[in-house]
Every structure is written in C-alpha cells, then in structure tokens.
Chain A
C-alpha cells in the first residue's frame, strides 16, 4: 500500500466553470504533485475528460479519486496503473536549421526515432515526436548531445482505457433510467 507508483486518473465531468480548480485543490491539500494534466472532450457529447498523472501510493490515489468523484459536477473518476491503459504524450523540439543542414546527424536521429519534422524555416526546424515519456526524453537527450535543442516542450498524458466504450457509458445509462423514473413519479 505504501509503494509509490505512477497512476493515471481519468475523470469525466460536465463542462463547468471552476471545476478544474476544485479538482486541483484536492491534490494540493494532500501534497500530491500533479505530473501532468490534460482536459479534453470525450467521445460522449458535452462530457469532458480529465487525464491526470501522479506518482503516489495506491492508498492515496484511491482517496484522491473518490474525492474527485465526490465533486458535484464530476460524473465518474477512475484510476489506472500504466498497464491498464493505452497512453501517449507528444513532444516538440526546436533546433536550428543550420545544425540540421550541417550534417545528416539530426536527420538520422529523427528517422531512427520515428519522429517527424513539422516545420522548417531558414532559421529553425521543429521536430515532433509522440510516444511514452522515456521515448520523448531519449530523443531530447540525443538531439541535445551537441546542444542543438533551442526549445522543448512535452504535453500532458492522454489515455484511453482497454474497455470497449467509454467507461462512463454504463453510468450514464443508469442515470438516464433514474431520471425517467423520477419524472414518472
């Protein structure tokens, strides 16, 4: 229970103002650092999805997930270990075009790491790489061996679960049923 591991929390919510703040204070109050956080639409109309990565104990992630789900505008919250989800991150690397043209080194690195070049100007070149953190970090290390990287950024994690549809579907159906019954009474 006390072993620290990486967990991904996925929470589904209504699109409500201020909810992000409600969710982040749950972490700050417990001194748990958010490694990454992304918010996007889900496959369900009008429902947003928070994907939050934390390094903590299972006990803590369980408590945090319950506290998130307790928020009025959160529909459901789940937590996963790395093996339970398919996830990806994206990184952008800016190098000087001069360095790119000087030798074929950068080009080789880009090819071998399955990255791609998305913009070239006379001054700079932007390389994009999707993958897990260790992959995008590895590319950074290689590109930066000679100090080529002028700018670098990595996105938060995005993830889908191994379940067929969104995990939320069942919950939504049940809620809809309840609402129908309520309006009948």
Chain B
C-alpha cells in the first residue's frame, strides 16, 4: 500500500502496472492512448515497452510472454482500429486460458456514443472473448480497475481482461493509492475440493484394469507438474497429452504414451476407446481431441479433474467430477490411489506405437526420398538442442509436426495457438517468449503462410535485437488446407498455393541473420549456425510441397477410425 498523492490517471496506469510486477508492455500508441504513452516516457527506467509493428503483434507477443513465464502479459493500444486489432489475440488468449491485461484508449467520456474519430465500442466487441472487461471514465477508478484486472486475469482459470480508458480519465487527476485485489465476492476462482469426490475417484482408479490419463494445460497453468508426476508414478497409469498439455511432462517419461487428437499419436487415440477408466486432468475435451463424441470413450468411466465447473459435462459426461485446482486435488487423489503396475496395459500402447512408427514416423523422421520433410528438420533440432528449447509454432502442418516430434523436456516449452488456431501467432509469440525467457533458446517453427500474416514483426525483432530463431518450413502452400483439399475435396487446390517473396531478401532488409536450405546435406550445419547465432536468425527450409500430416482422425470420425495413411 502506498501513500496517497495527487497524480494524473495516466501516471496511475503506469504506477499500477509497476505495482503488479509488470516488466514489459507490448503496445502501439495512438490518439486516444497518448496521455498514457506520455506518462510512460517518464518511467523508461522502471518499465520496458516493446513497440511492435501491428497491434496483433503486440497481443500475440504478450501471449507468448505469458505462456513462457506464467506471468500476466500486458498489452496496450489506442481506441478504434488499435483496439479492434487486438481482438484476434484476445480471443486466442480466451480459448487458450492465457492471462492477459489489455489496456485500450478511448475517446473522452463526453464523446462516447457520438461516433467520434476512432471511437468504437471495444467493451461490447470484446465481451464474448474476455474473462472480464470494463470501461473506466473517471481517473479515480483506474487503480482499482487495474488491481481487479490482474487478479481476474491470473487467478482460477486464467484469461484475458480488457480495460478501456477514456481520454478524460487519463488526463484527470486522482489521489493515488494502490491496493492489490485478492477477493471479489461474486468470483470464486477455485472451487474447494470435495473430499467425497476424491474418494469416489480413487475407488474407481483402484478398481480399474485399463486406466488411462489425459493431461491438459490445466496442469501447466496450475504449476502442478510435480503433483502430476507423483500421481502418475504411484498409480502407474499411462498418460497422453493434449496439444496444450505438451511439456507438462517430459517426452521420455516411461508412462508418456504421446499426443492426443486429430494429428496426435496412434495409440493415444485408439486406446481412448479401449480403456476402462479415463482420467482427464485439466483438459476440456476439445473436438480436435474427441472426434465424434457419440463414439468417444463410451466404454469408460470418466473422471474429470477440472478448475472450471462450466467444463464439466460440457462435451463428455463424467462419472466423477473432481472440481478444484489440480495443484490441490492431485495430491489428495495420489494419497488414496494404490501403487500399481500397469505394464501389461502400457505395453499395448507400445505395440500401437510400433505400427505408427513403421507406417508414419520412420519415413517422416528418416525419409528416403529426396525432398526434405518437416519432421526431419524437427528431429535434427532435437539432436542439437536435446529438447532444451522453447518451441513456438504458428498454425498448420508444421504446428502438428513440431508438436508431435519435438522432444519436450522442460516445462512450458511448447507455445502454440491451440483453441483458436490463429495463423500469425508464431512470430510475435516467439518474441514475447524470448523477452520473458531471455536465457532460453526460443525457436519459432512457422509455415510460409502464417509467417506472412505477421511478418512485419521482423521490424520489432530488428529494433530490439530479440534473438529468436525462426525455422520457416516452406512448402509454398497453405499446407494443412491443401492436405484437406487433397483428402476430402478431390485435390481441388482452391487458393492454397502461394507465390512467396524471397524470404532471404526480406530477412536481409530487416538485418536478420539468414540461411536457406534446399538439400538434406546442408541441414545440420544450418541448424547449428542458427542455434549458435547470438542474433535473430531466419532459417528457411524448403520442404516437400505436398506432404501430409498423419496419423489423422478425419473431422467427424471416431478416434478409433484414426488413419495412418491416405486412402485415396
């Protein structure tokens, strides 16, 4: 708590952000947020601001920062187009539960509703995609709104919040005093664990012959990786991970059976419909994980450990719902489960893996054909980093390949747009991740389509000398859409082939180190050059144009009907 003193609303914004531990703001100035930028000018020694080249870049950078560090990402933009340019990223943060505080400028309160220059109802527009939002029209309400915003963004199931500040609130003065928010009467961030549900769940688990655990981002968000490990190792239950649950546990953990979902591993999908007790930990049964719900785990009793009551019974009906923060519920459950060895059952996953290895993995990772595959690029990155890197992806084929084949070793080492599938996420999110984790190797794996959606952020990388490593897997196609066109639209490649610029020249223009690889023999050295570079590096790898990602659960199919190869 600080002493009361008279300052402007704008200064209160900056001081409040500092009180909340904000190290960096990603943003872009403009008319209606100028007073705050003016206040920022005087605080350059206490808070860093990264000027991106587009507001979408700023919000994705804030997301990358939040995902890499677990802290709240802060983004700032002006009214009107500045604010609307944030919306995609806010929606992305909402569906992927990323803690974000977005601050937007707004026209003066007297002009609200008059269609003034750059006036837009951003509170209305952002309502469906924010956990909470507010318009502040009086300077004295600023510290309270910011305190509430941070509390809501980071507590419970995290998410984005937006504060819209009218210009008069920024200019006006207030008696400043900051009090952190720890309680909101109407908001219960974490349900209190119900002991009887824990007992019920433990009973089911102890009587199971073929129990199977699905782990999601909930474990990462709760910082409960160790609690999860203890649960798994005592119960001896094999586990698979959702896209956002990647890196909750290292790839080489003996009970880790791989990735779930449409392009996940074969065994994790198949075995969903063979297990007798399915234990979902901090995941939300996304349709990309479940496929056809009418043919999903119907034989199994379902236990759902979940912090958000609205997720329970939303897609999959549970036998036992264990509400609460998994950091608290997992240890309670671990205490009651019996030490078991499910190695026979675990072996069944290995048998499936062998099939997948033969049909897919082997020739993806060690191709015999001349064209380069995306998977072999990831394999060589694995070999040279030994999994000690943060992978940030864009959206599409390369995203699935990077998720499937990178050797995740550290916590929070995959940052990817899961729920919204936002192309253009990768590059700015990688910048944010690198700023949040400067000591880590941050590798952005991106396609030629997605890179060009936010390629202007090369400018930010240049200006701030952010040493991200960008692996552009260039197939001259919007590859995932092309794959679907091939498989489900009779190869009618409608609007998916791209005429691309010379990316090396673009990189040169932005003063990035760069190298282009077209031959397998060049790959290892190029990756080594990239990893060794102390500056940002664009490594373009020209890969096979029409490769597909397999296995695949076709849209609307059951997880049991996962395909290992194209049927046409």
Contact = CB atoms under 8 A, between A and B. Distances in A.
Interface string B307-332: 01110111000000000000000000
Contacts of A13: 186
Nearest to B308: A70
A66 to B, nearest CB: 4
A142 interface: no
A67 interface: yes
A178 B152 CA distance: 17
A63 B310 contact: yes
Of the four ranges (under 10, 10 to 19, 20 to 34, 35 or more), the interface on chain A belongs to 20 to 34
A14 interface: yes
A166 to B, nearest CB: 14
Nearest to A185: B182
B186 A75 contact: yes
A178 B131 contact: no
A53 B141 CA distance: 35
The interface residues of chain B, by DSSP majority, are classed as: mixed
B535 to A, nearest CB: 43
Contacts of B489: none
B224 interface: no
A72 B308 contact: no
A29 interface: yes
Given A21-B124, A25-B128, A29-B128, A66 B309 contact: yes
Interface in A56-85: 62-63, 66-67, 69-70, 72-75
B138 to A, nearest CB: 13
A25 B124 CA distance: 11
B186 A74 contact: yes
Nearest to B185: A175
B256 to A, nearest CB: 32
A157 B342 CA distance: 56
Contact of B184 (A17, A63, A66, A72): A72
Interface string A6-26: 000000011001100110010
A75 B182 CA distance: 16
B498 to A, nearest CB: 34
Contacts of B355: none
B183 A182 contact: yes
A172 B135 CA distance: 27
Contact of B185 (A14, A18, A67): A14
A25 B309 CA distance: 19
A148 B305 CA distance: 61
A2 interface: no
Contacts of A63: 310, 313-314
A179 B185 CA distance: 8
Contacts of B313: 62-63
A21 B126 CA distance: 11
Which of B182, B184, B310 counts the most A-chain CB atoms under 10 A from its CB? B310
Interface of A: 13-14, 17-18, 21-22, 25, 29, 62-63, 66-67, 69-70, 72-75, 172, 175, 178-179, 182
7 contacts: A21-B127, A63-B313, A66-B309, A70-B310, A72-B131, A72-B132, A72-B187
Given A17-B135, A66-B310, 13 more contacts: A14-B186, A18-B127, A18-B134, A62-B313, A70-B308, A72-B131, A72-B184, A72-B186, A72-B187, A73-B132, A73-B187, A75-B186, A182-B183
Interface of B: 123-124, 127-128, 131-135, 152, 182-188, 308-310, 312-314
